[in-house]
Amino acid sequence: MTTDIFTAILGGTLGFGSILPFIAPPMIQGTIIAPRESYEHPLRSRIISTLVKSPGIHFRELQRQLDAANGTLRHHLRVLTNEKSVTTVSVNGRTCYYAGAPAQVEILEGTGVTDEYRAASMLPVGLSGVQKSIVKKLSNSPEPASQAQLARDLGRSRASVHSAITVLRNRGILSEAGISLAPHINALHESKVDYPWLGIRQELA
């Protein structure tokens, strides 16, 4: 995946399909933009800043990073969501938060996906323990010869690995052929953005 600077038109208002095929003035790679008027309140500004740095985190993690009261944070998230400055997507039963729309996350550039819910499913958010261990393993090791070999490497049952691989393929996180990460996930090591979802940045550095 290239990490060329890309243009994202904000999103909640215009939708996922509003990414334009031209180059914008220079900006930090992976930057996600949200309307300025949405976060004039100091806490809202901090929410947006946190979600720019950590796209796809869930409520408790956002609350922990901001050290904000439960009710206060939920109120400001509702305001930002209503103003289309924050997008919430349910992934594996967990609500995940993004500044702008999921379409603007760097690793999805060039995938050709036009549906934001499909895009969200392609992000490594809300993974189960087995799913996460598979993605971490494939991020750091050659492609295993078989699912049975992967199960042995992970110390998991074949059934649990098979089930997890099926889910990951359906979500677009694994390639359809073989046992390998989809290109947009495999390119995480090239990213300039610190994605917190998997805890594999140290292995990919």
- What is the CATH architecture of 129-204? Orthogonal Bundle (1.10)
Confidence of residue 148 (pLDDT cuts 50, 70, 90): very high
DSSP letters along 111-176, please? S----HHHHHHTS--S--HHHHHHHHHHHHSPPPS-HHHHHHHHT--HHHHHHHHHHHHHHTSB-S
Could you tell me if 132 and 32 are in contact, meaning their C-beta atoms sit under 8 angstroms apart? no
Backbone φ and ψ of 157, nearest 5°: -75, 155
Instruction: Please determine whether the domains at 11-112 and 129-204 fall in the same fold group of CATH.
Output: yes
Query: Does residue 93 sit in helix, strand or coil?
Result: coil
- Which CATH number does 11-112 carry? 1.10.10.10
Kindly tell me the burial class for residue 105, based on how many C-beta atoms sit within 10 Å of its own C-beta (0-12, 13-18, 19 or more): buried
Domain extent listing, the chain:
11-112, 129-204
Is the pTM higher than 0.85? The answer reads no
Digit-coded pLDDT (tens) for 1-53: 333 322 232 233 333 333 222 222 222 233 334 444 444 688 998 998 888 77
